[in-house]
Structure 1
């Protein structure tokens, strides 16, 4: 891949107090708008009374056939009204007239730039037809002077006849003038012999390129021939040295001498070198850690395999033991279950015997207290039987015979208990509990009615039963004078234990029954008898509930 160079230079009118900054800003802003090429600000420098800034552009043809690098150097000298510029470009393929001119691609003509001959580069073809004589004379004089000037560095193509193919020149390097015959004759009067414009077309290369003029006299003028001549001119520019005033600029000279498509050699980056060193050290440390972890993993794997073998051996032994002992264990379990059932039956029988003994003890204590009382036998004969076929009959008998009790309990919950296998035992215990409450209420009411202090043994039902007072037929262990704090402080559970009372006890007609007697302490449905001791005010003990255990925080 070769490097094919061109250059051209010219002038740009100044803008504001900082013309270089303004021009640089406009060029960079244009790149952001078009985004089909890149621009790099290479910085600026001060040299005595002048200030320079350099920009570098890069673009391609869009199809990857060639690439272009452009170097633009701007120079402003204090006090002048124009900025001088030099554009140097390099292409990976030979330049052709069909290529987009670098000055046009980067937008240099949009800044109002002109060539070194002060001909604007923004107009591809300057039409000079139908002008007045004065205009023709004036412009022909200026153009004639420029064509013979030795300092001219851009080519001029004068068309006296339209070509077969439109020719637009090359901004910054080839300017095109389309003239009529009157202007052509006027221009020829200002040109030396041998330089006249023929009836066809003439291309005037700049003296610095040392090329002969291209003259086309055929009619019509061949556009292809003109394009070929322009291509030859563009390619010849690469062999032309830089202008003397720009060749001494270090940045221009260095860029033009180097290959812009080769990345410059760069020394080692200290920061990157440091990062690389740290990365290598971290990698070495990571490898060391990985080695240690691999050793540990290997040791763990060996230990795991050893444990697996031990587990396998233990499972084998367990299977062997299970095969021989399961039948034996099942037999032992069945025997133990039978023993548990026997103990349960024995416990129930013991409880029944205990309750019977307490009942007999209470009766004996009552009879002893009423010794020599002739009415005792009559009263005993009038008592209801102690076996009831249902809880309804039990409640009816208690209501009729136990005068110190006010039974407000709903019979429905108690009736459900009749279907349980232990219903008969519960009815006996309930009857004993009711008689105990009645005996307690009678004893306490009598003491209070006589103006006597009931004493600690009559302070409550629990003390009455614990001290074995006459008429106490139940164990103190099944009496609870209050519920737990969990039940008492829970409004829902408290409402479940609120039952009817007489208005003289509570004007609201309902009260909280926290005290209760357990007819069955542990096994469901664990029947309970809830009562309210109101002997101090009315001489009555209320029975508000008889049935299965009421809900608690654990059961509901």
Structure 2
């Protein structure tokens, strides 16, 4: 007969054994699934490694190929340079460089020449404009003077009709107003002294003739330049102008230079050095050898010394009016 208690105990033991077996089987199943997951992950990692390795290998091969090409190009360039250098010498290289430098300097010089030419043209145009303006102001001044003194010309016309001062200084002051192309830098002392001479009247007339002729000559030359025409031989200088019959002054009264004996002597030459405006000469003084006899051959034998700058500024500068300057026959 079966013992119920023992039987129950045996069943309980069997149940527990089954539970342990089931637990073991469950663990075994979990382990198997984990193994499969690990195998899958390993396979995926291995495949990724293979892909990356293949990609890296291709990139490496491409980089190697590029380096090989670069090396070949460098070698070819080196060979080309070596071949070129073998064909030329150092002297030829220097000559080529010198040629390029020479061309650059020549181009720079051409640019500088062009700049100077433009500057000269601009300066010349400015000088012509200034001359035209001075001529215009002179004409306006003379017109105003004519209107004011319509009956006071004494039979003379042009600038000469307005130069009728009662003293040498008075005539010069009138000329400053109506002869704008004649500039005075003279010392007034020698000029005023001439009025005390008995021949002052004829000298005043000759001075007026001279200054009016100078103004007309300078004005005609400025007008020729302003209109773009050639001045011509008649306007070469004051002497050629008077020889052509222009003005109020006899050509016999004019001399464009002094004798060699005078100009080679330092004392005589220095006595003929007179002031001029800065735009005529930056030094402020020039020799004035050209002169006009406004007096007779007897003392004081008055002379007017001037500098003709009509080819540049359009002006005539009067630097001296007075008794004859020292020379070998007058000391």
- TM, length-normalised to structure 1: 0.31
**Alpha-carbon separation, structure 1, partners of 2:279 and 2:143:** 36
**Alpha-carbon separation, structure 2, partners of 1:386 and 1:537:** 26
Give 1:519's match in structure 2, choosing from 294, 303, 317: 294
**Alpha-carbon separation, structure 1, partners of 2:228 and 2:254:** 28
Change over 3 Å in CA distance of 1:485–1:385 after alignment to 2: same
Give 1:422's match in structure 2, choosing from 190, 194, 199: 199
Give 2:238's match in structure 1, choosing from 461, 472, 485: 461
Asked if the contact 2:163/2:174 (under 8 Å) is kept, the reply is no
Instruction: Give the deviation of 1:376 after TM superposition.
Output: 9.2
**Alpha-carbon separation, structure 2, partners of 1:517 and 1:509:** 22
Matches within 5 A, 1:284-323: none
Q: Which residue in the other structure is 2:66 paired with?
A: none
Highest RCO, 1 vs 2 (Cα 8 Å, sep ≥ 6): 2
Q: Which residue in the other structure is 2:179 paired with?
A: 402
- Note if 1:445 corresponds to 2:216: no
Per-residue deviation, residues 40-66 of structure 1 (Å, max 9, x unmatched): xxxxxxxxxxxxxxxxxxxxxxxxxxx
Per-residue deviation, residues 458-477 of structure 1 (Å, max 9, x unmatched): 111011111013xx001000
Instruction: Give the deviation of 1:393 after TM superposition.
Output: 1.3
Matches within 5 A, 1:308-347: none
CA RMSD of aligned residues (A): 1.9
Q: Which residue in the other structure is 2:324 paired with?
A: 549
Give 2:279's match in structure 1, choosing from 476, 481, 504: 504
Q: Which residue in the other structure is 1:479 paired with?
A: 254
**Alpha-carbon separation, structure 2, partners of 1:397 and 1:421:** 22
Per-residue deviation, residues 438-462 of structure 1 (Å, max 9, x unmatched): 1101101111222211111111101
Asked if the contact 2:162/2:174 (under 8 Å) is kept, the reply is no
SS in 1 for 2:286: strand
Instruction: Give the deviation of 1:522 after TM superposition.
Output: 1.4
Matches within 5 A, 1:43-442: 380-382=146-148, 385-442=162-219
SS in 1 for 2:301: coil
Instruction: Give the deviation of 1:433 after TM superposition.
Output: 0.2
SS in 2 for 1:388: coil
Q: Which residue in the other structure is 1:150 paired with?
A: none
The structure where strand makes up a greater share of residues is 1
**Alpha-carbon separation, structure 1, partners of 2:327 and 2:212:** 28
The structure where helix makes up a greater share of residues is 2
**Alpha-carbon separation, structure 1, partners of 2:142 and 2:305:** 30
Q: How many residues align?
A: 180
**Alpha-carbon separation, structure 2, partners of 1:380 and 1:509:** 35
Asked if the contact 2:278/2:284 (under 8 Å) is kept, the reply is yes
Q: Which residue in the other structure is 1:528 paired with?
A: 303
**Alpha-carbon separation, structure 2, partners of 1:522 and 1:548:** 11
Change over 3 Å in CA distance of 1:506–1:523 after alignment to 2: same
Per-residue deviation, residues 297-344 of structure 1 (Å, max 9, x unmatched): xxxxxxxxxxxxxxxxxxxxxxxxxxxxxxxxxxxxxxxxxxxxxxxx
**Alpha-carbon separation, structure 1, partners of 2:274 and 2:142:** 35
**Alpha-carbon separation, structure 1, partners of 2:318 and 2:238:** 13
SS in 2 for 1:462: helix
Asked if the contact 1:529/1:546 (under 8 Å) is kept, the reply is yes
Asked if the contact 2:274/2:285 (under 8 Å) is kept, the reply is yes
SS in 2 for 1:452: coil
Structure 2 gaps, min length 5: 1-140, 149-158
Higher-Rg structure is 1
- TM, length-normalised to structure 2: 0.52
SS in 1 for 2:313: coil
**Alpha-carbon separation, structure 2, partners of 1:386 and 1:446:** 22
Change over 3 Å in CA distance of 1:377–1:406 after alignment to 2: closer
Asked if the contact 1:487/1:552 (under 8 Å) is kept, the reply is yes
